[in-house]
Chain A
Amino acid sequence: MSTIRIDNVRKSFGGFEVVHGVSLDIADGEFVILVGPSGCGKSTLLRMIAGLESISSGNVVVDDLVINRLPPRERDIAMVFQSYALYPHMTVRRNMAFSLKLAGAPKGDIDRQVQAAAEILDLVSLLERKPAQLSGGQRQRVAMGRAIVRNPKLFLFDEPLSNLDAKLRVQMRSEIKELHQRLRTTTVYVTHDQVEAMTMADRIVVMNAGRIEQAGTPMDLYEKPASLFVAAFIGSPSMNLIHGRIEDSAFLSDAGARIPLAANAPVTSDPVVLGVRPESLHVGGVGPAFGECRLRVVEPMGSETLLAATLLSGGDGAHGGGENIMILSRVKERYAADTTVRVGADPGEFHFFDATSGRRLE
């Protein structure tokens, strides 16, 4: 149980900086997820916390102790690797007991702790097997068992589910979350999958190109993305982003569509980007208008239907060639491609971003 403070941490590889001054406070027992596209520096940041990578500048503080220069073995931090990194020459039992044995724990304690961890993770029947004799999901659980068995200050996960198939991934996702609710160990979890981040995190930290774009609860990020990057990254299907400008309490898209805005929309003459989530758009019905749309592709998914559509300019179907948008309809209805429909939206659900800086406009 521990708090972590990451204070203006930087990392350079041979003069090339890949993490540019990241600061983050993590509360005791919190489950924080670092998410971002591949190569943005998530693993590097995690490995600096672990002690596997040196810190070029800044501090990592665990419970008021600066741990920058401590070797990994003295940090009391456990890590689950993407490749699991199980010791192939040891049985599951010895894999899990390894850290306790190195720490010089008495044999009775080791057995008890390994047994307890194996029960939590449903590994009891596999204790005498070697890693080669396990399935992907079982190996994943052994890797977690190795981490929880010694009750560390902190858990680190680096994309632990990315080698599992989709179904197992969903299952392990809830198992990890359950495990955290049970143990309440402070956790930093890295993934590039925003769905994983949304479903598991107490708090999400969105990273981009070595910087933190935004940190907040999943709902914070969903409802108030601080930048275009976060807006596009969080949510699935991702937010529609339409370039244009604001004039006379309406939004004029670059392609010529006119979308009426609410009274509290920002006032600016600079180019802006209007963001609207596919699930905020409603086909037909009453409510404020968003515009006329031509349905191009209809993708029924059972409970919902995903529609790829073109926003028609000036409400006039003849022009074609407007912005491409996605609509997520949760109404049970059969849509037909190549038809024109009225689309409504609540202007209160629009997001505005400065087109040049990408920052959110209120």
Chain B
Amino acid sequence: MTATAGLRRAPEIAVSAHRHIDLLTRIVILMVLALLLVFILLPLFWMLKSSFQTNFEVQAIPPVWLPENPSVEPYDLAGQLIPLWRYIANSLYVSTAAAVIAAALSAMAAYVLARFRFPGATLILALILLTQLIPSVTRIFPVYFLIQDMGLLNTFSGMIFAYVGFSIPFAVLLLRGYFQTSCPPELEEAAMMDGCTYFGAFWRVILPVSLPGIAAVTVFTFLNAWNDFLWASLLLSSGEMKTIQVGIGEFATESGVSNYQNAFMAACVISTLPALILFFFVQRWLVGGLTAGAVKT
């Protein structure tokens, strides 16, 4: 008999349990994930493949999963049925302006709130936080009348104004946290010791270091504005000025969606493209880690 024979053994799961998942569990996990993926991607796939099919093929039962004669005709058709490119341009203009203005304003506000202590700073922060706790539907009437009183109904400026206002609180909170963790004051001070003016330090050091945060805020505001349906349909009534989301909505009701399902889907595909392209270009900024190692960890 060995000396350890009578001792109890601790169960062996503890430390590396997750490394020893048995095959069955692994298969189950993979299947669940695959199912989820299908669930998420199926509508997108449906949209994409339908935009290259004839309307007859789209509505066929059983469904035709791959276009038999892929054609860009539905895209032409969509352009004929509604002023698609005009709507896209409207959306681009409104969303870009809102994103740039919101990012610039919130970066400045967040920088001050992150760096300086002054009377009322806490109150300002608390108020900003408070706006995030109020359900956004409650804003419909006040904002509508506010914009009406300013004479900005049915103008792009009114829309931009609204989007900027809605995005700023969250953007300020996000960027303030970003400045606090990724841009310690020593960075500016080091730059000033190295020969920068105050503005030089901001321009050459703080701004490049905060680019991922600012990019995140810009993209966030852009997508919010781009995807908005509610405010665009409330604040704009002129056909010329519709954004793409509203335009697609009208497309469905006015042209009779069942007759032109393929063109409808083509319009939808085009409306997702700018967001996709944008994401493709900024994703390297959105990936964090750029600032790791600036200061002690």
B260–chain A nearest beta-carbon distance, Å: 50
> A85 and B209: CB pair below 8 A?
no
A73-B195, A132-B289 given as contacts; is B184 within 8 A of A89 (CB)?
A: no
Interface membership of B125, Cβ < 8 A? no
Picked from A78, A82, A103, the residue with its CB within 8 Å of the CB of B193 is A78
Residue-wise interface mask of A (54-75) relative to B, using a CB-CB cutoff of 8 A (1 in contact, 0 not)? 0000000000000000011100
15 additional A-B pairs beyond A85-B189, A88-B294, beta carbons within 8 Å, are: A50-B193, A52-B189, A72-B192, A72-B193, A73-B197, A79-B189, A79-B193, A82-B296, A85-B187, A85-B295, A87-B205, A88-B293, A89-B208, A99-B195, A132-B290
Question: Are B190 and A81 in contact (CB-based, < 8 A)?
Answer: yes
B181 to chain A, nearest CB (A): 12
| In the complex, chain B residues whose CB is within 8 Å of the CB of A103 | 195
Q: Is residue A268 within 8 Å, beta carbon to beta carbon, of the partner chain?
A: no
- Smallest CB separation, B193 vs chain A (Å): 5
Number of interface residues of A (CB under 8 A): 31
Given A72-B192, A87-B190, A88-B209, A132 and B292 contact (CB-CB distance below 8 Å): yes
- Nearest 10 Cβ contacts at the A-B interface: A132-B293, A102-B195, A83-B295, A85-B186, A88-B294, A99-B194, A85-B190, A131-B293, A132-B292, A163-B296
Q: Is A98 an interface residue (CB 8 A)?
A: yes
The answer for the CA separation of A300 and B209 in the assembled complex, in Å, is 51
Determine whether A77 belongs to the interface, using a CB cutoff of 8 Å to chain B. yes
B→A interface (CB under 8 Å)? 182, 184, 186-187, 189-197, 200, 205, 208-209, 289-296
Interface centre among B189, B190, B290, by most chain A C-beta atoms within 10 angstroms, is B190
Instruction: State in angstroms the CA–CA spacing of A79 and B293 once bound together.
Output: 18
Q: Contact at A102–B196, with CB atoms within 8 Å? A: yes
- Whether a CB of chain B sits under 8 angstroms from the CB of A146 is yes
- Measured between alpha carbons, how far is A139 from B197 in the docked complex, in Å? 25
Interface centre among A71, A81, A84, by most chain B C-beta atoms within 10 angstroms, is: A81
Cβ-closest chain B residue relative to A134 = B293
A86 within 8 A of B: yes
Which of B189, B289, B290 contacts A81 (CB under 8 A)? B189
Flag whether A360 is at the interface (Cβ < 8 A): no
List of B residues within 8 angstroms of A86 by Cβ: 190, 293-295
Q: Does A130 contact B (CB under 8 A)?
A: yes
When the two chains form their complex, are residues B209 and A73 in contact, meaning their CB atoms are under 8 A apart? Answer: no
A181 CB within 8 Å of chain B: no
Which A residues fall within an 8 A CB radius of B?
Answer: 50-52, 71-73, 77-79, 81-89, 98-99, 102-103, 130-134, 136, 139, 146, 163
* Shortest Cβ gap from B211 to chain A (Å): 8
Out of B187, B289, B292, name the residue touching A87 (CB < 8 Å): B187
Which of chain B's residues have a CB closer than 8 A to the CB of A88?
182, 209, 290-294
**B residues within 8 A CB of A52?**
189, 192-193
Write the chain B residue with the least CB distance to A72.
Answer: B192
Chain A residues with CB below 8 A from B208, complex form? 89
Q: Is the CB of B196 within 8 A of A73?
A: yes
Q: Which of A50, A84, A85, A139 has its CB near the most chain B CB atoms (within 10 A)?
A: A85
A77 to B194, CA, bound (A): 8
Nearest Cβ distance between residue A77 and chain B, in whole angstroms?
7
Please determine whether A89 and B189 come into contact, CB atoms closer than 8 angstroms: no
CA distance A131 to B190 in the complex (A): 15
B119 CB to nearest chain A CB (Å)? 11
Query: Which one, A77, A79, A134, contacts B190 given CB within 8 A?
Result: A79
Please judge, given known A-B contacts A73-B195, A98-B194, whether A84 and B209 are in contact too, CB under 8 Å: no
- Nearest CB to that of B189 among chain A residues? A52
Please state if B194 and A83 are interface contacts (CB–CB under 8 Å).
Answer: no
The distance from the CB of B192 to the nearest CB of chain A, in whole angstroms, is 5
Question: Shortest Cβ distance from B292 into chain A, in angstroms?
Answer: 4
* CB-defined contacts of B194 to chain A, threshold 8 Å: 73, 98-99, 102, 146
**In the complex the two chains form, is B296's CB within 8 Å of A130's CB?**
no
- The answer to whether A87 touches B294 (Cβ under 8 A) is yes
User: How far is B195's CA from A130's CA once the two chains are assembled, in angstroms?
Assistant: 21
B193 touches A77 (CB 8 A): yes
> In the docked arrangement, what's the CA distance between A81 and B188, Å?
12
Report the bound CA distance from A72 to B196 in whole Å. 9
Residue of B nearest to A76 (CB): B195
Roughly how many angstroms separate A81 CA and B295 CA in the complex, as a whole number?
A: 9
List chain A residues, Cβ under 8 A from B289. 132
> Which B residues are in CB contact (< 8 Å) with A134?
293
30 sampled A-B residue pairs with Cβ under 8 A:
A51-B192, A51-B193, A52-B192, A72-B189, A73-B194, A79-B190, A79-B193, A83-B184, A83-B296, A84-B294, A85-B184, A85-B190, A85-B294, A85-B295, A86-B294, A86-B295, A87-B209, A87-B294, A88-B182, A88-B293, A89-B290, A89-B291, A98-B194, A98-B195, A102-B195, A102-B196, A132-B292, A133-B293, A146-B194, A163-B296
CA distance in complex: A79, B190 (Å): 7
Q: Which of B190, B192, B291, B293 contacts A71 (CB 8 A)?
A: B192
A354 to B290, CA, bound (A): 57
Question: Bound complex: CA of A132 vs CA of B291, how far in Å?
Answer: 7
Inter-chain contacts of B292 with A (CB < 8 A): 88, 132
Q: How far is the CB of B252 from chain A (nearest CB, A)?
A: 47
How many angstroms between the C-alpha atoms of A73 and B192 in the bound complex?
6
